[in-house]
Structure 1
Amino acid sequence: MTGEKGRPVRWRGARVVAVVLLLAAACTAAFGLLGHYRPDATALAALVGDDAVRVDQVEDGYAFVGPDEDPDNTYGLIFYPGAKVDERAYAPLMHELAAKGWVCVDVSMPLDLAILDEGAAARAMAEFPQVEHWYVAGHSLGGAMAADFAADHADELDGLVLLAAYSTKDLRDSGLEVLSAYGSRDGVLNRETYQEDFGNLPRDAHELVIPGGNHAQFGSYGAQLADGEAMICPSRQVEETVRFVDDVKRGGAPGVEGPGGR
């Protein structure tokens, strides 16, 4: 069959499909470049192992493992990065937590969007069968996706860690230990939504407000659009976060308990 000018209709259709695919690829590439936050020098340095922590590149990102002889290595944490943030930007946080005896997996996401691979934690957990106590965690949008995963896999997890994030799923009867932290200078987190959705967490959820901390300093990728100016250094915010999370191994976490800590 030919068209009005003698060209095969099938050929013209194939050309249209090719053009559409090229446009889609171009849009995807442009989207991938917009607002993309890359790891800074501090983050890249934390990707190097040392005497306390072994860093391995795994199928879904990077694994940070403390000393093999450390009995606390039965605790593990899967981390979902914030929207448009390269997972490597969270290497300082993962490295410091691993030094405390945790197995941490810093998950790589398609287009750096956790919403595109919410189930990544299941694959990461399968790689470390020695871990007995799993926590899933995330920053900002990554935290929301971690909460969604936790809601569907509560029987496989011990807890959830939210960093400048909130859960839209009802976790009140999940039996999970939930920790929620944000910086007092955070200019990105929607406080009104945060307050409303804190009611989705168990009544004994732990909350930590880091004085002087902001949104971006949970990672190490520089300033973030619309964020508040931090009044503490990035290493201090990471240190406070590590202490908050690591306390679960001792039967509790600092901060305030109860819905919203109010």
Structure 2
Amino acid sequence: MPGPALLRRRLLRLLAALLTLVLLAAASLVAWSRIGVMDAETAPWQGVQEDPRITEERTDVALVLRPSEPEPAGTGLLFYPGAKVEPEAYAARLSELVTELGVTVVVVDPPLNLSLFDRRTPDRFTTIAPELETWLVEGHSMGGVRACELAEEADALVLFASYCATDLSTSKVSVLSLSGSEDGLSTPEKIAEHRDALPGSAEMDAAVADAVAELLGTMP
């Protein structure tokens, strides 16, 4: 039987090997998260920046798009990006909510470009616009999974090509799920498989701006 000194040496070697594996895995994850990040297309992003109806601000935690003439009591949208998609890539797609509905959009800038790793609470972002009374939480793809985790802290949940891993079937939160028939990742079949995780009242599939406008109109 090995003596205590030999056992300690073997234990230390094992711990050193495990630590090395953890560090290698962490380094690989960081490297992977920085490869193939989807940037904003130049023309659409420039169009948002030059639109006089939109006030754009980049903070250390998010991209913020505000209507240039906000109403005293408005609505905010807290948006979680898909994996390895930079916040600015969503600006043009979400800008109509700002210009047509007066919504203030806060697009989270998550650690490692992965929304599931962002464990900051919603108030870390909603305090950017403390004057707003109503907040929707939305997410695209992986970001939608994170948004589902925060749905009970918001006034409504919007899923963009995503589905919930969190069971919200008994929740009273208003839910809108938007998806594309040609999406190869969040396919209609996958979304249908996870439909039971949403409340029975959840609205499925519609034009984005019209659907959000309708959702805002039906919220208590």
- TM-based fold match above 0.5: yes
The SS at the match of 1:78 is strand
Q: Deviation digits for residues 111-144 of structure 1, max 9, x if unmatched?
A: 1100110435331112222111110001001011
Change (3 A) 1:120 1:45: farther
* Alpha-carbon distance in structure 2 between the residues aligned to 1:47 and 1:243: 20
What residue is the counterpart of 2:109 in the other structure?
108
Size of the aligned set, in residue pairs, is: 202
Tell whether the 8 Å contact from 1:147 to 1:169 is kept in structure 2 after alignment: yes
What residue is the counterpart of 1:157 in the other structure?
154
* Alpha-carbon distance in structure 1 between the residues aligned to 2:70 and 2:187: 42
Q: Which runs of 5+ in 2 are unaligned?
A: 1-15
Change (3 A) 1:26 1:158: closer
What residue is the counterpart of 1:230 in the other structure?
none
Q: Deviation digits for residues 167-208 of structure 1, max 9, x if unmatched?
A: 111212322110001111111114433212111111111111
Tell whether the 8 Å contact from 1:163 to 1:181 is kept in structure 2 after alignment: yes
1:250 aligns with 2:217: yes
What residue is the counterpart of 2:6 in the other structure?
none
Letter paired with 1:50 = D
Tell whether the 8 Å contact from 2:160 to 2:179 is kept in structure 1 after alignment: yes
- Runs of 4+ displaced beyond 4 Å: 20-26
* Alpha-carbon distance in structure 2 between the residues aligned to 1:186 and 1:24: 30
What residue is the counterpart of 2:85 in the other structure?
85
Q: Deviation digits for residues 16-63 of structure 1, max 9, x if unmatched?
A: 99xx69967753453133332221113421451532111111231111
Q: Could you state the TM-score of these two structures normalised by the residue count of structure 2?
A: 0.80
Tell whether the 8 Å contact from 2:30 to 2:112 is kept in structure 1 after alignment: no
Give identity over the alignment, percent: 32
What residue is the counterpart of 1:130 in the other structure?
131
Tell whether the 8 Å contact from 1:136 to 1:157 is kept in structure 2 after alignment: yes
Change (3 A) 1:49 1:104: farther
1:17-166 map, 5 Å: 27-70=28-71, 74-99=74-99, 100-150=101-151, 154=152, 156-166=153-163
Letter paired with 2:85 = V
What is the aligned-residue RMSD (CA, Å)? 2.7
* Alpha-carbon distance in structure 2 between the residues aligned to 1:191 and 1:78: 24
What residue is the counterpart of 2:200 in the other structure?
203
Q: Deviation digits for residues 228-258 of structure 1, max 9, x if unmatched?
A: xxxxxxxxxxxx3122212223227xxxxxx
Tell whether the 8 Å contact from 2:79 to 2:138 is kept in structure 1 after alignment: yes
The SS at the match of 1:174 is coil
Change (3 A) 1:148 1:84: same
Change (3 A) 1:159 1:85: same
* Alpha-carbon distance in structure 2 between the residues aligned to 1:169 and 1:24: 27
Q: CA deviation at 1:94?
A: 2.6
Q: Which runs of 5+ in 1 are unaligned?
A: 1-15, 210-239, 253-262
The SS at the match of 2:96 is helix
